[in-house]
Amino acid sequence: MKPFDIVIVGGGGAGLYAAMEAMKTNPALNIAVLSKVYPNRSHTSAAQGGANAALANKAKDDTVEMHIFDTIKGSDYLADQDAVEVLCSEAPKIIRELENIGTPWSRLEDNTIAQRPFGGAGRPRCCYCADKTGHTILQTLYEQCLKKGVIFFNEYFALNLSVNGSRSKGLIAMNMKTGAVEAFPARTVIFATGGYAKMYWNRSSNAAGNTGDGQAIAYRAGIPLKDMEFVQFHPTGLRKSGLLVTEGARGEGGYLLNKDGERFMARYAPEKMELGPRDLVSRSLETEILQGRGFDSPAGKYIHLDLTHLGADLIKSRLPQIREMAMNFEGVDPILEPIPVRPTAHYSMGGIDTDNYGRTVMEGVYAAGESACVSVHGANRLGGNSLLDILVFGRIAGHTAALEARKFEPSAISEDEVKDQLAELRSSMQPSGHYERYGELREELGQTMALNVGIYREASLLKKGIAEVLELKERFKKVRVADSSDVFNTNLLQVLELKNMLDLAETVAAGALAREESRGSHTRTDFPTRDDEKWHKHTMSTLVDGNVKLGEKPVTMGRYELQERTY
């Protein structure tokens, strides 16, 4: 295959914005987007709540500076402050740009883009389209990419980077429709493969494919990952499936009630109440449950999210998707009854370490979106800041790669390398003698992560978690792909995704054990306070001889000094 200037792995919001921007920056470039699902199916479509930008449409006194402060404070001071500045200053521009190309934003009475309050934000600055914001953004970007003639390789599964010393030669991927392993020689590669919170499996709000493939590929190629221990739990996952009830429900005025009918957030965040930041609300829910004030059911303990007082009209017009989900997956109509919820693993703050331009340490390799860690979310992401992150840094990565691509000489990927990958794939998945079942390993991984590396963490549990993950990695060597077909072998893909999750799970658990403090989403019961002296720094994970090696990196300050975080 002729070498590409840019190969973008991932067709979610980050990947598509990167593609669109790269085409705009230099239309002469040869750009391809590769995605394991049709781009419009990407997980960005699940984002319901909205994207933050200080447009000041709703609150006239909102400013970019306030957005910056809220984000840094929300991050528990672990975000890099120069990166946050980029994020928030670019926000109004990017939301308007999306509007200009057709995103159907909801509107205020004066016909400007609508905004609503969202957790951890000092002003109502979350721009939304009913409760289908991510879906409509993704549709718009996909449409624009089709318009621009972006070349898509849909249903291609990225396997590995092809590396020569410190340089990437391109990507090796499987065509899911044929099972063929193909080389994509490329001057530059951008990873935009989304998050890794699915390692918590049915205690996660994520799509089945949010398995951190890009992070795992980069990690295997020697690129460091950053702050992997920070996994955000969303307070309101549906009790049975982990699926998400968006913060929009609380933004519109929903109450969290314990079994005594008490609005317990009054005890944890008296001012912000239900709209406190996610980590705090999740911990509050977990505490209520642990202290016996939750409801009991065969499917586990839970809390009530009550919308009944909002009225049928508001629920139907502003929260239709939430209503549909509650009815489909819990059999509860929120107009009539409260929704049973509990915390669910939702977002991965950690990811591939990049600079503010999306560059990784490997020449010609970039990353953006949830798969990257710039870092703008630090120890805790604010609701509505992730869509913003994927758009802003997707665009920046696309722009940078387009400017830099021609700087790198293309190199060929040999046929032997491709053949070796295929052969290895085949033989490793057909062990002789005793074998392991994919489903069981995955179930056990989700279980051990939730129990030992969940919301409340502690040294003994974390050690147990690490040991179990390592054992699972061992057992994985004997996993069997029961389906032997070439065409659309979804069984094989699931196994490959599990491998990626296992590699990353080790970095999450190891990072969590090392970090002897509590910060943002990372809560150690044995180290309950933030320890700025020892731990005001990023955790770096590198793969050395098959296992994780931890390092560190300073946090970029410059705007706001460290403060205690209260709401």
Partner 1 sequence: MTVSTDQHNEAKRDVTFKVFRFNPQVDSKPYFDDYKIPVERGVTVLRALNYIKEHVDASVSFRAFCQAGICGSCGMRVNGISMLACTSQVWEVLAKSKEEGVIKVEPLRNLPLIKDLIVDMDPLVDKMKHYSNWVDSSMPEAEMGKKEFLVSEEEFLKYDKATDCILCASCVSECSILRANKEYVSPAVLLKSYRMNVDTRDSIHDLRLAELVKDHGVWDCTHCYRCQESCVKSIPIMDAIHGIREDALESRGMKDTSGAKHAEAFMSDIEKKGKLVEATLPFRTNGVLWTMQNLLPMAVKMILKRRTPPPPPMVKPSKGIKEFRGEFREMSEHVKQDHKSHKK
Ligand X SMILES: Cc1cc2nc3c(=O)[nH]c(=O)nc-3n(C[C@H](O)[C@H](O)[C@H](O)COP(=O)(O)OP(=O)(O)OC[C@H]3O[C@@H](n4cnc5c(N)ncnc54)[C@H](O)[C@@H]3O)c2cc1C
Residues designated as active site = 234, 250
Pairing of strands 31-35, 126-127: unpaired
Backbone angles phi, psi at 335, to 5 degrees: -70, -30
**Among residues 21, 22, 23, 36, the one that binds ligand X under rule CB under 6 A:** 36
CB of 99 to partner 1, least distance (A): 5
How far is residue 64 CA from its own chain's centroid? 24
Please identify, using beta-carbon distances, which residue of 75 and 144 lies nearer to partner 1: 144
Residues 344-383 that bind ligand X (CB under 6 A): 346-347, 369-371, 383
Please identify, using beta-carbon distances, which residue of 176 and 401 lies nearer to partner 1: 176
Given phi > 0 = left and psi -120 to 50 = alpha, else beta, which region is 548?
beta
Chain residue whose CB lies nearest ligand X: 12
Element (H, E) at 234: strand 231-238
Q: 191-230 mask for ligand X (x: CB under 6 A)?
A: -xxxx---------xx---x--xx----------------
Nearest CA among 234, 155, 223 for reference residue 189: 223
Q: 232-271 mask for ligand X (x: CB under 6 A)?
A: ------------x-x-------------------------
Dihedral sign of CA atoms 181, 506, 446, 133 in order: negative
Helix (H, G, I), strand (E, B) or coil at 373: strand
Q: 23-42 mask for partner 1 (x: CB under 8 A)?
A: -x------------xx-xxx
* Assigned token pair, 314: 């508001």
**Among residues 82, 143, 355, 417, the one that binds partner 1 under rule CB under 8 A:** 143
**Among residues 40, 44, 168, 539, the one that binds ligand X under rule CB under 6 A:** 44
Q: 100-139 mask for partner 1 (x: CB under 8 A)?
A: xxx-xxxx--xxxx---------------xx-x--xx--x
Residues 209-228 that bind partner 1 (CB under 8 A): 209
Nearest CA among 395, 402, 403 for reference residue 356: 395
Q: In what order do the strands lie in the sheet with 372-373?
A: 372-373, 351-353, 225-226, 537-544, 547-554
474 belongs to the binding site for partner 1 (CB under 8 A): no
Measured distance CA(33)–CA(490) in Å, rounded: 21
458 makes contact, choosing from partner 1, ligand X, none, with CB < 5 to 8 Å by partner type, with none
Backbone angles phi, psi at 507, to 5 degrees: -70, -35
311 Cβ contact list (under 8 Å, min separation 6): 335
| Part in contact with ligand X (CB under 6 A); list of ranges 28-36, 89-97, 511-519, 540-548 | 28-36
CA–CA–CA angle 192, 173, 190 (5° rounding): 25
177 makes contact, choosing from ligand X, partner 1, none, with CB < 5 to 8 Å by partner type, with partner 1
Helix (H, G, I), strand (E, B) or coil at 389: helix
**Among residues 27, 261, 311, 439, the one that binds partner 1 under rule CB under 8 A:** 439
Residues 159-178 that bind partner 1 (CB under 8 A): 177
DSSP secondary structure string for all residues of 128-183: -STT-HHHHHHHHHHHHHHHHT-EEEETEEEEEEEEETTEEEEEEEEETTT--EEE
389 Cβ contact list (under 8 Å, min separation 6): 87, 369, 370, 374, 376, 377, 381
Residue owning tokens 């946050």: 84
65 Cβ contact list (under 8 Å, min separation 6): none
**Among residues 6, 18, 47, 469, the one that binds ligand X under rule CB under 6 A:** 47
| Part in contact with partner 1 (CB under 8 A); list of ranges 96-104, 279-287, 332-340, 374-382 | 96-104
119 makes contact, choosing from partner 1, ligand X, none, with CB < 5 to 8 Å by partner type, with none
CB of 326 to partner 1, least distance (A): 11
391 makes contact, choosing from partner 1, ligand X, none, with CB < 5 to 8 Å by partner type, with none
CB of 129 to ligand X, least distance (A): 11
386 makes contact, choosing from partner 1, ligand X, none, with CB < 5 to 8 Å by partner type, with ligand X
Nearest CA among 358, 363, 352 for reference residue 507: 352
Binding site for partner 1 (CB under 8 A): 24, 37-38, 40-43, 45-46, 93-94, 96-97, 99-102, 104-107, 110-113, 129-130, 132, 135-136, 139-140, 143-144, 146-147, 154, 177, 207-209, 240-241, 243-244, 297-299, 321, 324-325, 328-329, 331, 437-439, 481-491
Binding site for ligand X (CB under 6 A): 9-15, 34-37, 39, 42-44, 46-51, 134, 156-158, 192-195, 205-206, 210, 213-214, 244, 246, 346-347, 369-371, 383-387, 390
